[in-house]
Amino acid sequence: MRYILPIMLALASPALAHEKTVGDLEISHASIPDPTPLAMSAAGYMAISNNGETPEELIGVRTPFAKSAKVHETIMDGDVAMMRAIDGLTIPPGDTVNLEPGGLHVMFMGLTGPADAGDMIPATLIFRNAGDVEIEFMVEPTDEMDHSGMDHAGMETSGN
């Protein structure tokens, strides 16, 4: 009996706090590689599973962490990686869409403050059917592609 409390506390740790299930949607491992102290942008990653029978669409992202946040896709043109904002990200029924380095990701632009490894960054994912879903991105030690030094000013956008 005395071991139950430590186990419960371990299960409630911040490492698990950024998993979220709402209706048929499951959002897992929302994370942001630790941006450099002077970074103006950062990338966010996660997996979104749709356990329902109808498609769902991620149509927006809001957060106090950045002036704007949009879903981007990375497109290769020869050896050059280009990023482009997309208007909506469809999550087919019974499928999982991964936002990961070198592919789809949330681009946080105009960071409003610092973020350090271990911080939890609040955000709202806006879905066409499910509506607003509050999540937290965990800031993780940087070991992936660093978006913070990239110039997104000339980036191609679709429909914006």
Going from the N-terminus, what domains does the chain have, and what CATH number goes with each?
19-150 (2.60.40.1890)
Quote the pTM value: 0.78
Distance CA 5, CA 115 (A): 31
Average pLDDT over residues 1-14: 45
CB-count burial class (<10 Å; 0-12, 13-18, 19+) for 113:
exposed
- Residue 15 CB neighbour total at 10 angstroms: 13
97 has pLDDT over 70:
yes
Distance CA 92, CA 111 (A): 31
What confidence category does residue 148 fall into, taking pLDDT thresholds of 50, 70 and 90?
Answer: very low
pLDDT above 90 covers what percent of the chain? 71
State the amino acid at position 129 in one-letter form: N
The CA angle 62-109-101, to the nearest 5 degrees, is: 95
What confidence category does residue 126 fall into, taking pLDDT thresholds of 50, 70 and 90?
Answer: very high
